[in-house]
Structure formats: structure tokens, C-alpha cells
Amino acid sequence: MNELKRAKIVLKILNKTYPETPIPLKHRSIFTLLISVLLSAQCTDVNVNNVTKNIYPKYNKPEHFVRLGRKKIEKLIRRIGIFRIKAKSIFNLSKTLVEKYNGKVPRTFEELEELPGVGHKTASVVMSQGFGNPAFPVDTHIHRLAQRWGLTSGKNVVQTEKDLKRLFHKKHWNKLHLQIIYYGREYCKARECYGISCKICTTCYPKRKKPIKTKKA
């Protein structure tokens, strides 16, 4: 079975399993989505949502975080991993948005990736989930699943993103990356499936008997 056939199997199973794909990070605007995605690095969406539910009703614009300052932002997000680094990024990117973009989140990859603390993956999520533009955010979890399912042999998320964009039509990207995340959390877990028990793994590789080792991103 070649990778194109495996891609068709993956798409069919995911569409059947997750016909709807709500955005997992709770947000009130594209700006708060950007903040939540930044906070989600090395942290679960559940933890981010638990923290931001007490922040966004009061602080939800770049001007709010500029006025707060780094130290107060730290106090608000201290239950989240590497909160000091994230607080610095939130303050600096909010300042940049106010000074350079009139408080609005820019709509291009280039401008987003120039913001403090915003990398390609974060920019991709904002472009996809915020603006609805075709993008395929790939993190270490999607990287691992794409390897298990035989959709990439890439050694990093950059190559995996290229492979997934090549295998799937652009119209599927925004929904597909969320479907993969949901499926990985529910069925193809890192320490449960090992590439040999979930429906996608067993369909794509019916003869696979040994757990597959994935290359770290």
C-alpha cells in the first residue's frame, strides 16, 4: 500500500469519526486565540482553558496586556508551564500589535511570525482557526501520528508539514489537523497504540506486529 492509499484511508476514517471539529482552545477573538495558542506550548489545552477562563472576561485586547505589564501577566498565568517566558512574549507581542498594527492581529504568515514568541506552528493555527485560511499546523503529536500512519518519513515537523500538504488537498487542511489531534488523543495515544492497535494503524498496516518507533521532531 502506497502513501496515497494510506492518506485516503486516514481521511475516510477521520471524517467518519470526527464530522465536526470544534476548536479546542476557548477564545473570544483572534487575539485571544493567538494568546491561547502561545500559552499551549508544552501545556495541555485543558490547562490553558482553565487559566484563560478567568483572564479573558477582563483582559482580551493587546492594550489590556500592555497596561498590565510583565509581572502582572506572570501572576495571571503562573499555573502554566514556563510562564515567565510566555508572559514576556505576551507583553512584547501585545506592545508590537498596539504600536505597529493598531491593536489588530496581522493576517499574513510573515507578519505573524515576526511577532515575539510566535513561531510557524502558532502562526499556522491562527491562520487556520482564526482567519480560515488554508494551513496545516504540525506539532510533535501530529508528527508522531503521521509517521505511524506512513504519511511521512520526515525527521522533523517541517518535513512532515510538507508531506501532509502534498498528500491532502488544501480544502481538507484546516479540518484535518484538528481531526488528527482529536484522534491521537482518543485512539492513537503515544503510550497505548504504539502503531498496532487503533483502526487507522491496523488498516494501513494490517501485518504490523511490533510497536513502531517514531523519530522525534
Query: Domain residue spans in the chain?
Result: 3-21+136-204, 30-130
Among 40, 94, 103, 49, which residue's Cα sits nearest to residue 70? Answer: 94
pLDDT of 180 reads 98
Is CATH 1.10.340.30 correct for 30-130? Answer: yes
Q: What is the mean pLDDT of residues 134-151?
A: 95
Compute, in degrees rounded to 10, the torsion defined by CA atoms 73, 75, 79, 82. 60
Q: What is the mean pLDDT of residues 78-93?
A: 96
pLDDT of 215 reads 75
Neighbours of 150 (CB within 10 A): 22
| pLDDT-based confidence at residue 155 (cuts at 50, 70, 90) | confident
Q: What is the mean pLDDT of residues 130-144?
A: 95
**Under 8 Å between Cβ of 96 and 137:** no
Residues 6 or more apart in contact with residue 143 via CB below 8 angstroms: 152, 154, 156, 157, 160, 214, 217
Assigned fold of 3-21+136-204: Endonuclease Iii, domain 2 (1.10.1670)
Residues 6 or more apart in contact with residue 163 via CB below 8 angstroms: 146, 151, 152, 153, 154
pLDDT of 217 reads 67
What is the tens place of the pLDDT at every residue in 13-24?
999 999 999 999
What is the tens place of the pLDDT at every residue in 42-64?
899 999 999 999 999 999 999 99
pLDDT of 213 reads 82
pLDDT of 100 reads 97
What is the tens place of the pLDDT at every residue in 180-217?
999 999 999 988 999 999 999 999 999 999 998 877 76
pTM: 0.92
Q: What is the mean pLDDT of residues 107-115?
A: 96
% pLDDT > 70, the chain: 100
pLDDT of 216 reads 73
The H-assigned helical ranges of 80-196 are 83-101, 109-113, 120-125, 140-148, 157-167, 173-186
Residue 86 CA to residue 88 CA, distance in Å, equals 5
Residues 6 or more apart in contact with residue 6 via CB below 8 angstroms: 149, 150, 151, 204
